Chain A
């Protein structure tokens, strides 16, 4: 029972982190129908900012990471803005280009090898509840995910900006006809995505104590899978996809025999394929298309 509870805690923590990754992708996809391939590099940039500034003061490190990722997200928005009226692939290629550019810049500035630091290392200490143990970082991951989801829900459901974001996500042409300014709404979505990337970067670097130019590659892959698994274009779907992926991965790593553990990710992704075969639109369909006469 303890073993199961420990796997559940691990799964929830991993799922919460994956949900954050996925939300950052889903926010942009929701309003622009664009997969942001540079999202991983936002995480990478935030990771370096936290590692460097957070070494002396973790709070300043967090703030710097959030500012860096939000500003980079805004710059990315300005870069892809002229491509909005072109074919969808143009924006996709645009984010690819920015992704490679940021990776190359990071290699140039920090080198290709991982840079290590002690930012957030104190969070790796564990607390014990009975026979269960949980690290402070895991608690922070769970709490930050809950807080971010509550804030995002409040933004989307209680503010005028959120209403416009939801409208653009559903039908951007109609939103424009009604006077919703895309050049205001879309940058807001990018900032939200940037902040999510910043928080994810802090949690990742606090866990590993390292940052490298490819830091964002794996989170990006996970974010894509979780977003597609949950249902493209829905925020709830991104959270559901992230949580499910995290839980499956954690339980597999706990319950698979040691000889099969190297295949944890592969088996997890096969499970994702099975879900997508059964539910091609993901766990939560992108919008209610019911029409009545």
Chain B
């Protein structure tokens, strides 16, 4: 059984159909990608999974439980971690305060924090500094560490490379790869198909709010349509 199962989900913003009948599943320990150009409906799909966009139809199951009608606050306690597009760190709070906000079982925060600081040493060096003073790459690491501190079973990342210098992108993807190697399930949304295929085992391609193709990374690497965009994103 899939860990995350999105079945026939549709999302409407006002009068506009943003996502239509999307079905995606992620197995336990699997890394899955969603690629598509800007406006394809990738982020809307993730927002709807997290209860931030209203689903018109379809269902979302996580670990066998239906979370379709749950609020974001409730979903955060089911074992889903989310790093949204644009990082959304709390810029006026310190690194430590950002980490403290994540839902963490009582008494486990300090040990989990230390573990995160081992994985992301730069955060340890700047633990009491306001988050806005971090570089883009460091902010992305903070966003990932903050999502991981509650020990999720599935980490959802929306465009983690967006707005980062190439060196920082390398570093962030190395972190995500390392996390996946420890057994963490990953759902990665990316415009950059090349980077995505290098990390995941299966890919869904979205266009105009629909899934238009799906397959293994190997199969999709040979899909010409995936490489026609100048940025390496799908046409």
Chain A contacts to B: CB under 8 angstroms: 160, 163-164, 166-167, 170-171, 173-182, 287-293
- The segment from B2-10, B58-66, B70-78 that touches chain A is B70-78
Q: Is the CB of A174 within 8 A of B84?
A: yes
If the complex has contacts A174-B88, A177-B50, A292-B139, are A163 and B103 also in contact, measured as CB distance less than 8 A? no
Extra inter-chain contacts (19) besides given A166-B93, A290-B91, A293-B163, CB under 8 Å: A160-B100, A163-B93, A163-B101, A167-B90, A167-B101, A170-B92, A173-B88, A177-B72, A178-B101, A178-B103, A179-B76, A179-B102, A182-B73, A287-B91, A291-B132, A291-B163, A292-B135, A292-B136, A293-B136
Could you write out 25 A-B pairs with CB less than 8 Å apart? Answer: A163-B101, A164-B101, A166-B90, A166-B93, A166-B97, A167-B90, A170-B92, A173-B52, A173-B88, A174-B84, A176-B72, A177-B88, A178-B146, A179-B77, A179-B103, A180-B101, A287-B91, A287-B92, A288-B130, A288-B132, A291-B132, A291-B136, A293-B135, A293-B136, A293-B165
In the bound assembly, the distance between CA atoms of A292 and B101 in angstroms comes to 22
The interface residues of chain B lying within 8 Å CB-to-CB of A181 are: 73
Interface of B is mostly: loop
Top 3 closest A-B pairs, CB basis?
A179-B103, A179-B76, A176-B72
Q: Taking the nearest CB of chain B, how far is it from the CB of A69, in angstroms?
A: 28
Question: Hey, which chain A residues are within 8 Å of B204, CB to CB?
Answer: none
Do the beta carbons of A289 and B135 come within 8 Å of each other? Answer: no
Contact A178 B135 (CB under 8 A): no
B18 interfacial by beta-carbon distance below 8 Å: no
The answer to whether B91 and A288 touch across the interface, beta carbons within 8 angstroms, is: yes
CB distance from B170 to the nearest CB of A (A): 14
**In this complex, which of A166, A167, A177 has the most chain B Cβ atoms within 10 angstroms of its Cβ?**
A177
Q: What is the total of A-B residue contacts with beta carbons within 8 Å?
A: 76
How far apart sit A289 and B92, CA to CA, in the bound complex (Å)? 9
Nearest Cβ distance between residue A214 and chain B, in whole angstroms? 38
Give the one of B101, B139, B150, B163 with max A CB within 10 A: B101
Q: How far is the CA of A176 from the CA of B135 in the complex (A)?
A: 25
B164 sits at the interface (CB 8 A): yes
Closest-CB distance, B56 to chain A (whole angstroms): 15
Complex Cα spacing A176 to B88, Å: 12
From residue 114 to 155 of chain B, which have CB atoms closer than 8 A to chain A?
130, 132, 134-136, 139, 146, 150
Query: B91 near A289 (CB under 8 angstroms)?
Result: yes
- With A175-B101, A290-B132 known as contacts, the answer to whether A167 contacts B50 (CB < 8 A) is no
* A176 lies within 8 A of B73 (CB): yes
Within the assembled complex, what's the spacing in Å between the Cα atoms of A164 and B97?
A: 10
Report the separation of the CA atoms of residues A177 and B83 in the bound assembly, to the nearest whole angstrom: 9
Nearest Cβ on chain B to A186's Cβ, whole angstroms: 12
Residues of A within 8 A of B163 (CB): 291, 293
If A176-B73, A182-B73, A293-B135 touch, whether A288 touches B92 (CB-CB below 8 Å) is yes
Contact with A along B28-50 (1 / 0, CB 8 A): 00000000000000000000001
What chain A residues lie within 8 Å of B52 (beta carbons)?
173, 176-177
Most B-side CB within 10 Å, residue of A170, A182, A289: A170
Bound-state CA distance A210–B92 (Å) is 43
How near does chain B come to A30, taking the closest CB pair, in angstroms?
11
> Within the complex, what minimum Cβ distance (angstroms) separates B102 from chain A?
5
Q: CA of A178 to CA of B52 in the docked complex: distance in angstroms?
A: 12
